[in-house]
Amino acid sequence: MTGEVLQLRGVGVRRGGAALLRDVTWTVNENERWVIIGPNGAGKTTLLQIAAAMLHPTAGAVEVLEEEIGRTDVFELRPRIGLASSAIAEKVPTGEKVIDLVLTASYAILGRWQEEYDSTDVSRAVELLDALGCGELIRRTFSTLSEGERKRVQIARALMPDPELLLLDEPAAGLDLGGREDLVARLGRLADDPAAPTMVMVTHHVEEVPDGFTHALLLRKGEAIAQGKVDEVFTAEHLSSCFGLPLTVDRQHGRWYARAAR
Ligand SMILES: Nc1ncnc2c1ncn2[C@@H]1O[C@H](COP(=O)(O)OP(=O)(O)O)[C@@H](O)[C@H]1O
Ligand SMILES: [Mg+2]
């Protein structure tokens, strides 16, 4: 690979009369860790679906892992991408065991049926669950887990096929303070691991951005209003125009804080 994991040129997505994304040009290189940030409805999930090869743009050109969307078999491409999002969590069949939810990711399917898994698959799933602090949950049913446990299991599932690109849509949404801090620390360690895949995480809170994330893209009303190195993008000026209110922004020990300016 030449190092370009994602390349979007002039990407637009229209649904009905609405422009969900407008003229987005964005490049993600190998080993970068990106955060996509913006208010509710800005188009973050839509942009992540483009990156996941789950959605074709209505305008512009998209390359994912050097495959051009529209000219490549997305069914071969998708197993190279790990995606964790609540849209997937909602589709988990009732009664699905945690271990099976992680194992089935090798086939990019949901719901264990009669596939055969060899012992290396099983030990990889167990190792990933262990690394995310879910070693105790292996035999539990997914639907009985707490929100924090579910989020961590979903990340283990996304990592199962050893993806070249890891996409996380609001991984900390719905967590309590302890759960959020635990997840942010884990994602920070993953970001620091040179063997980890290229990562793109969506959030609407700068407080959820782990230390070790290198780049940021700010979305407002479907448009990328700033992008680049995280410390050049996370300025009061950029974040204020992104969220549409005057903000002050601080950084402490590698973490970011934003609040309304007085
Ligand atoms: N199928 C659809 N038809 C029309 N509008 C949609 C559709 N899906 C999403 N939207 C709208 O597109 C905008 C962007 O959605 P989304 O990408 O989910 O935003 P975000 O993840 O930043 O909250 C929102 O205003 C949403 O209501
Ligand atoms: Mg969203």
pLDDT digits (tens, 9 = 90+) for 134-172: 999 999 999 999 988 999 999 999 999 999 999 999 999
Which domain covers residue 203, as residue numbers? 4-260
Question: What spatial distance separates the first Cα and last Cα of the chain, rounded to whole Å?
Answer: 48
Say what the pLDDT of residue 12 is. 98
- The residue-averaged pLDDT of 65-81 equals 94
Residue 112 corresponds to which amino acid?
R
Say what the pLDDT of residue 1 is. 54
Q: Which residue has the least CA distance to atom 2 on ligand 1?
A: 15
Q: Which residue has the least CA distance to atom 27 on ligand 1?
A: 41
Provide DSSP, 129-150. Answer: HHHTT-GGGTTSBGGGS-HHHH
Ligand 1 contacts (CB < 6 A) are: 15-16, 18, 20, 38, 40-46
> How many Å apart are CA 258 and CA 243, to the nearest integer?
11
Residue 12, Cβ density class (10 Å: 0-12 exposed, 13-18 middle, ≥19 buried): middle
Bridge partner residues of 200 (DSSP): 34, 167
CATH of the domain at 47: 3.40.50.300
Say what the pLDDT of residue 82 is. 94
Say what the pLDDT of residue 112 is. 75
Under a CB-based contact definition with an 8 Å cutoff, are residues 238 and 206 in contact?
no
Provide DSSP, 107-129. Answer: GT-SS--S----HHHHHHHHHHH
Q: Quote the number of domains for the chain.
A: 1
